Amino acid sequence: MGGNSMEFQDQLNEYIQLVDRELERLLPDEDILQKSVVDAMRYSVTAGGKRIRPVLTLEVCRMLGGDPHKALPFACAVELIHSYSLIHDDLPCMDDDAMRRGKPSCHIAFGESTALLAGDALLTLAFETASHAPQTHGTGCEETLRAISILSRLAGVHGMIGGQVIDLESEGRGIEYPVLHQMHLLKTGALIKAACQMGAAAAGAQEEDLDKIGEYADALGLAFQICDDILDVVGDEAQLGKPVGSDKQQQKTSFITLFGLEESRSNAQMMTTLAKESLASFEHNGFLLALTDLLLNRNK
Amino acid sequence: MGGNSMEFQDQLNEYIQLVDRELERLLPDEDILQKSVVDAMRYSVTAGGKRIRPVLTLEVCRMLGGDPHKALPFACAVELIHSYSLIHDDLPCMDDDAMRRGKPSCHIAFGESTALLAGDALLTLAFETASHAPQTHGTGCEETLRAISILSRLAGVHGMIGGQVIDLESEGRGIEYPVLHQMHLLKTGALIKAACQMGAAAAGAQEEDLDKIGEYADALGLAFQICDDILDVVGDEAQLGKPVGSDKQQQKTSFITLFGLEESRSNAQMMTTLAKESLASFEHNGFLLALTDLLLNRNK
């Protein structure tokens, strides 16, 4: 199944629509006193994310013989956590970014305190959504707890948040490759890994398959981050929806500052090959192989 | 069992020690790259909180015939969420409080970005801790999911965070009693309710008992908040560990500004009576009745 085939595109669009509809259902819509924060939550969640993580959750579940609908609450949970992390990352005390996906950042649009609370609320909603999976989607109780355990571990201080801390502390001073590697493995990779492994959990996968999927996700996460670093140098501002050159401006170490553009490109290619090789033992891997190629060749 | 009896004090101290030891075990202690945020997490969690919420979780479980050890992960989870909420509440874009429990606030001690991430990490760790309950404490899978569902609902936009939003929006302008009531029910009450109801969930309580415990918690939460408002006016700064008079300075509506000191005191008394009446149908309610009295008569 090639990345441009009709079949692949149809399946991808179906997944994205499934996630978008469910996210819309999850966001509270009553006219409550705390409406401002609900508006900020919706603004960020519906701001045009590519839904890469939830698609990975649904497809890994399907590839391993599970019913993707049983993974839908986890797909939404990982996207809610992704959204919260972007809101908090953009805050003045963090990266201080005024633009996100071509629109004013959440704190520019709603104020700093509302943005802070909207992030907290999305993080909390992620776990609420996952915990309801048995009621809303007939997911098994043990599968659900396993998914929550994966997500909370990989979104926390040993995962995504850990990566943000390393990133913060390395700003303005050069870091060595091992630190950069660890930072990206956590900051970008951990949530991608959570997305994939929760899909496996929903399918009731054995520990061995969970590990294999973890290897795939680690390689994909690194390839994805190298692409991000490349796009920060050569990307198109209008397509990206944010200014390019921000890494250089913030004196951040990136794959580009350490290895240059050409070697970074070949590193990304190598990581993508590694990722695809980790999928070799799975029979129905066509969609995921095509998706992996698509993510490497993206321009935003 | 009176609030001053030896038996009550012994049991209270035992609960607190149980929680303190488990929280210490939960906080990561490796020498990892992201050590700064771990230090900030530990600083806030061990800053001398009264552990009221976790004690409620353990005791409600015991009162309903459950084994308190099976509720310990939930007791810790609610305390971790309480800690995170204080860190984020103190941030410059929120209440901008430099002192907490007699020590510099987390962002004063560790910087704003580290404090933000420490809060996010504690919130995430709360759900990780709860999700491991079956492995670490032999809690049932369904009981665990029910507890996670209760906690995430009551800590989120329909609970604690919702209360913070209403609080923020009412700053600097007068609000009516119904809004103040709703704000406190959510901001302080929701997490107390989560603490109590998770204890009931750990004991495998019926829906009816869960509701009864919820009524108790609502009344207790309001009594607790009225006491807070009273202490903000008549409290001792050294005992409280924070400046008094902050509500007035921030032009916040409180029970005191709406009803005056005397009527607030009698309201707190009435709410406490209501809370205790909700416990009448439970056989082994001695400890909880004594604790309820103790919370009303506190001076910090």
Residue A49: pLDDT band by 50, 70, 90 thresholds? confident
Residue A35 falls within a domain, yes or no?
A: yes
| A182 within 8 A of B33, measured Cβ to Cβ | yes
Q: What is the pLDDT of residue B244?
A: 66
Q: What is the pLDDT of residue A173?
A: 78
Chain B residues within an 8 Å CB radius of A166: 33-34
Residue B41 falls within a domain, yes or no?
A: yes
Segment B23-30 shows an average pLDDT of 88
Output the CA angle A234-A237-A239, nearest 5 degrees: 100
Q: Which of B117, B132, B163 sits opposite A161 (nearest CB)?
A: B117
Asked whether the predicted pLDDT for residue A186 surpasses 90, the reply is yes
Residue A149 and residue B165: Cβ atoms within 8 Å? no
User: What tens digit of pLDDT does each residue of A251-297 get?
Assistant: 778 888 889 999 999 999 999 999 999 999 999 999 999 999 998 88
Segment B263-283 shows an average pLDDT of 94
Q: Which of A84, A116, A162 sits opposite B88 (nearest CB)?
A: A116
| B97 within 8 A of B104, measured Cβ to Cβ | no
Residue B161 and residue A32: Cβ atoms within 8 Å? no
Asked whether the predicted pLDDT for residue B159 surpasses 70, the reply is yes
- Counting Cβ atoms within 10 Å, is residue A94 exposed (0-12), middle (13-18) or buried (19+)? middle
Q: How many CA atoms lie within 13 A of A61 on its CB side?
A: 28
Task: Give how far A227 is from chain B: nearest CA, Å.
Answer: 24
Distances from the Cα of B279 to the Cα of A77, A249, B119, B155, B284, angstroms? 37, 61, 34, 24, 9
| Cα(A203)–Cα(A218) distance, integer angstroms | 20
The helix (H) or strand (E) run that includes residue A51 is none
Query: Of A35-44, A90-99, A174-183, B13-22, which gets the smallest average pLDDT?
Result: A174-183
Asked whether the predicted pLDDT for residue A241 surpasses 70, the reply is no
Segment B57-68 shows an average pLDDT of 98
Asked whether the predicted pLDDT for residue B3 surpasses 70, the reply is no
Residue of B nearest to A107 (CA): B93
Which residue range is the domain that position A274 belongs to? 6-296
Residue B1 falls within a domain, yes or no?
A: no
Q: Which of B153, B164, B182 sits opposite A117 (nearest CB)?
A: B164
| A294 within 8 A of A56, measured Cβ to Cβ | no
Asked whether the predicted pLDDT for residue A103 surpasses 90, the reply is yes
**Radius of gyration for the alpha carbons in chain B, expressed in angstroms and rounded:** 18
Residue A56: pLDDT band by 50, 70, 90 thresholds? very high
Q: What is the pLDDT of residue B240?
A: 61
Residue B155 and residue A94: Cβ atoms within 8 Å? no
Residue B149 and residue A157: Cβ atoms within 8 Å? no
Residue of A nearest to B95 (CA): A113
Q: What is the pLDDT of residue A237?
A: 65
Chain B residues within an 8 Å CB radius of A164: 117
Residue B95 falls within a domain, yes or no?
A: yes
Segment B223-230 shows an average pLDDT of 91
Q: What is the pLDDT of residue A298?
A: 76
Residue B82 falls within a domain, yes or no?
A: yes
Of all residues in chain B, the percent with pLDDT exceeding 90 is 77
Q: Which of A116, A156, A166 sits opposite B121 (nearest CB)?
A: A156
Residue A282 falls within a domain, yes or no?
A: yes
Residue B289: pLDDT band by 50, 70, 90 thresholds? very high
A207 token code pair:
């520990």
Residue of A nearest to B143 (CA): A141
CB atoms closer than 10 angstroms to residue A182:
18
| Cα(A65)–Cα(B57) distance, integer angstroms | 40
Distances from the Cα of B27 to the Cα of B21, B37, B110, B128, B275, angstroms? 10, 11, 17, 12, 34
Q: What is the pLDDT of residue B170?
A: 84
Q: What is the pLDDT of residue A63?
A: 98
Q: What is the pLDDT of residue B270?
A: 94
Residue A1 falls within a domain, yes or no?
A: no
| Cα(A27)–Cα(A135) distance, integer angstroms | 17
Q: What is the pLDDT of residue B144?
A: 98
For tokens 């698509």, the residue is A294
User: What tens digit of pLDDT does each residue of B173-213 get?
Assistant: 788 999 999 999 999 999 999 999 999 999 999 999 999 99
Residue of B nearest to A163 (CA): B34
- Between residues B13 and A2, the one the model is more confident about: B13
Chain B residues within an 8 Å CB radius of A169: 33, 36
Q: How many domains does chain A have?
A: 1
Q: What is the pLDDT of residue B248?
A: 64
| Cα(B199)–Cα(B65) distance, integer angstroms | 10
| A251 within 8 A of A171, measured Cβ to Cβ | yes
Asked whether the predicted pLDDT for residue B48 surpasses 90, the reply is no
| Cα(A291)–Cα(B175) distance, integer angstroms | 53
Q: Bridge-partner residues for B103, per DSSP?
A: B100
For tokens 């996968």, the residue is A205
Inter-axis angle of helices A141-155 and A112-131, nearest 10: 150
Q: What is the CATH number of the domain that holds A291?
A: 1.10.600.10
Highest mean pLDDT among A237-251, B59-73, B225-239: B59-73
Residue B162 and residue A113: Cβ atoms within 8 Å? no
Chain A residues within an 8 Å CB radius of B113: 93-94, 168
Task: Give how far A3 is from chain B: nearest CA, Å.
Answer: 35
Q: Which SS3 state, helix, strand or coil, does residue A122 take? A: helix
Chain B residues within an 8 Å CB radius of A112: 93
Q: Is B105 left (phi over 0), alpha (psi -120 to 50) or beta?
A: beta
Q: How many CA atoms lie within 13 A of A54 on its CB side?
A: 32
| Cα(A252)–Cα(A26) distance, integer angstroms | 37
| A84 within 8 A of A126, measured Cβ to Cβ | yes
Residue A125 and residue B156: Cβ atoms within 8 Å? yes
Query: Of A264-268, B21-25, B68-72, which gets the smallest average pLDDT?
Result: A264-268
User: What tens digit of pLDDT does each residue of A119-175 get?
Assistant: 999 999 999 999 999 999 999 999 999 999 999 999 999 999 999 999 888 877 788
Q: What is the pLDDT of residue A243?
A: 63
| Cα(B100)–Cα(B148) distance, integer angstroms | 28
Segment A19-44 shows an average pLDDT of 90
